[in-house]
């Protein structure tokens, strides 16, 4: 039976005085590909909540359903059944103008392979989501500059992607995903195309954005180093949530959380029964 996982409202990671709101609810979500005998169930009735300001990681082996889940939340895929509720609005049935507004303003999406337009400068790539909604470049300049400073890409604002390093491209893509001040930032393997140095730079900056701006982040990753920056990890196996790790943000550093993540990943090969013996930390 699929176990529903809720964000830890009484966790030490959050203030007991002011409990964060549930910004995102995933309710019994399924996604099936194909028909009849060739039917494949990629996501099997997954349910969980995300709190406002949380940094949630989703991990699992290739084919586990984690990217399918993320793409359903991003509306790149339509779920077969279930509900996706962002700030009390069921987005599962959005279409037309509502869907465009959701994609353009309410979520930011950071791709693994940057997905920058080669014929636009970094500044133009970052500004593009605003331009699509009729916001003039002059009005966007202040926000672009602030994000460029936060992500350390001021020096490449007038450069084209071919003139940037991989790390600069991904930080430019992060600025583009954040320029509309979305309710939630969705990240699909954001360090997958980066070396270890640039991966650390990006994750340090995303962590600072999460902490300082209280930006809610949901990240799919296979990288335990990247995942150790999160406040909570959901592990997915065969389209179901089978384990959860919570980090005590007051007492547990990234190194200690990394070790717990690696332990779960190592046991994953032995099946979910072995993993669950570690307990819900």
What pLDDT, on a 0 to 100 scale, did the predictor assign at position 102?
84
Q: What is the pLDDT of residues 194-225, one digit of tens each?
A: 999 999 999 999 999 999 999 999 999 999 99
Give the number of other Cβ atoms within 10 Å of residue 56's Cβ.
Answer: 21
Which element (helix H / strand E) includes 30? Answer: strand 22-33
Residue 14 lies inside a defined structural domain of this protein: no
- Residue 241 CB burial class (10 angstroms; 0-12, 13-18, ≥19): buried
Q: Tell me the longest C-alpha to C-alpha distance in the chain.
A: 57
What is the spatial distance between Cα 232 and Cα 246, in angstroms, rounded to a whole number?
4
More confident residue, 7 or 261: 261
Residue 12 lies inside a defined structural domain of this protein: no
Query: Could you tell me if 207 and 12 are in contact, meaning their C-beta atoms sit under 8 angstroms apart?
Result: no
What is the spatial distance between Cα 194 and Cα 196, in angstroms, rounded to a whole number?
7
Across 148-157, 248-257, 266-275, least confident range: 266-275
What pLDDT, on a 0 to 100 scale, did the predictor assign at position 272?
47
Name the band, by pLDDT with cuts 50, 70 and 90, for residue 175: very high
Which element (helix H / strand E) includes 23? Answer: strand 22-33
The CA-CA-CA angle for residues 69, 70, 76, to 5°, reads 100
Residue 35 has pLDDT above 90, yes or no: no
Name the band, by pLDDT with cuts 50, 70 and 90, for residue 278: very low
What pLDDT, on a 0 to 100 scale, did the predictor assign at position 6?
56
The CA-CA-CA angle for residues 176, 73, 132, to 5°, reads 35
Residue 263 lies inside a defined structural domain of this protein: yes
| CATH assignment of the domain containing 151 | 3.40.50.300
What pLDDT, on a 0 to 100 scale, did the predictor assign at position 131?
77
Q: What is the arithmetic mean of pLDDT over 137-165?
A: 91
- Residue 36 CB burial class (10 angstroms; 0-12, 13-18, ≥19): exposed
What pLDDT, on a 0 to 100 scale, did the predictor assign at position 275?
46
What pLDDT, on a 0 to 100 scale, did the predictor assign at position 19?
75
Which element (helix H / strand E) includes 51? Answer: strand 40-51
What pLDDT, on a 0 to 100 scale, did the predictor assign at position 246?
95
Across 84-93, 150-159, 195-204, least confident range: 84-93
Residue 84 has pLDDT above 80, yes or no: yes
The closest of 269, 276, 279 to 64, measured between CA atoms, is: 269
Q: If you write DSSP's letter for every residue of 188-256 in order, what string do you get?
A: ESTTTTS-HHHHHHHHHHHHHHHHHH--EEEEE-S-HHHHTTSSEEEEEETTEEEEEEE--TTT--HHH
What pLDDT, on a 0 to 100 scale, did the predictor assign at position 63?
84
Residue 6 lies inside a defined structural domain of this protein: no
Residue 9 lies inside a defined structural domain of this protein: no
Give the number of other Cβ atoms within 10 Å of residue 153's Cβ.
Answer: 25
Which element (helix H / strand E) includes 259? Answer: helix 254-268
The whole-chain average pLDDT of the chain stands at 86
Query: Could you tell me if 58 and 220 are in contact, meaning their C-beta atoms sit under 8 angstroms apart?
Result: yes
What pLDDT, on a 0 to 100 scale, did the predictor assign at position 137?
67
Residue 1 has pLDDT above 60, yes or no: no
Residue 195 lies inside a defined structural domain of this protein: yes
What pLDDT, on a 0 to 100 scale, did the predictor assign at position 101?
80
pTM: 0.86
The CA-CA-CA angle for residues 29, 186, 25, to 5°, reads 35
Residue 147 lies inside a defined structural domain of this protein: yes
More confident residue, 12 or 242: 242
**Number of structural domains found in the chain:** 1
Residue 2 lies inside a defined structural domain of this protein: no
Tell me which residue range forms the domain holding 230: 22-276
More confident residue, 252 or 2: 252
Residue 158 has pLDDT above 50, yes or no: yes
Residue 121 has pLDDT above 50, yes or no: yes
Looking at the chain, the whole-number percentage of residues with pLDDT higher than 70 is 88
């Amino acid at each position: 039976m699929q176990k529903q996982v809720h964000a830890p409202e009484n966790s030490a990671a959050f203030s007991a005085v002011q409990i964060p709101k549930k910004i995102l609810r995933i309710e019994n979500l399924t996604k099936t590909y194909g028909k009849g005998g060739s039917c494949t169930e990629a996501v099997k009735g997954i349910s969980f909540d995300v709190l406002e300001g949380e940094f949630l990681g989703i991990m699992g082996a290739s084919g586990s359903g984690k990217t399918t889940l993320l793409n359903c939340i991003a509306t790149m895929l339509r779920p077969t059944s279930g509900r996706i509720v962002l700030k009390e609005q069921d987005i599962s049935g959005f279409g037309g103008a509502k869907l465009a507004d959701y994609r353009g303003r309410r979520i930011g999406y950071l791709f693994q392979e940057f997905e920058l337009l080669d014929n636009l400068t970094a500044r133009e790539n970052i500004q593009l989501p605003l331009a699509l909604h009729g916001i003039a470049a002059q009005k966007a300049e202040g926000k672009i500059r602030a994000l460029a400073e936060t992500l350390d890409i001021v020096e490449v604002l007038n450069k084209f992607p071919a003139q940037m390093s991989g790390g600069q491209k991904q930080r430019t893509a992060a600025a583009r995903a954040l320029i509309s001040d979305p309710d939630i930032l969705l990240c699909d393997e954001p360090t997958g195309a980066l070396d270890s140095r640039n991966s650390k730079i990006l994750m340090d900056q995303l962590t600072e954005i999460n902490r300082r701006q209280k930006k809610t982040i949901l990240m799919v990753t296979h990288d335990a180093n990247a995942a150790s920056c999160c406040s909570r990890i959901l592990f997915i196996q065969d389209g179901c949530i089978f384990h959860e790790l919570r980090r005590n943000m007051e007492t547990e550093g990234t190194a200690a959380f990394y070790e717990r993540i690696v332990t779960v990943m190592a046991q994953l090969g032995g099946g979910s029964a072995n993993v669950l013996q570690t307990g819900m930390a």
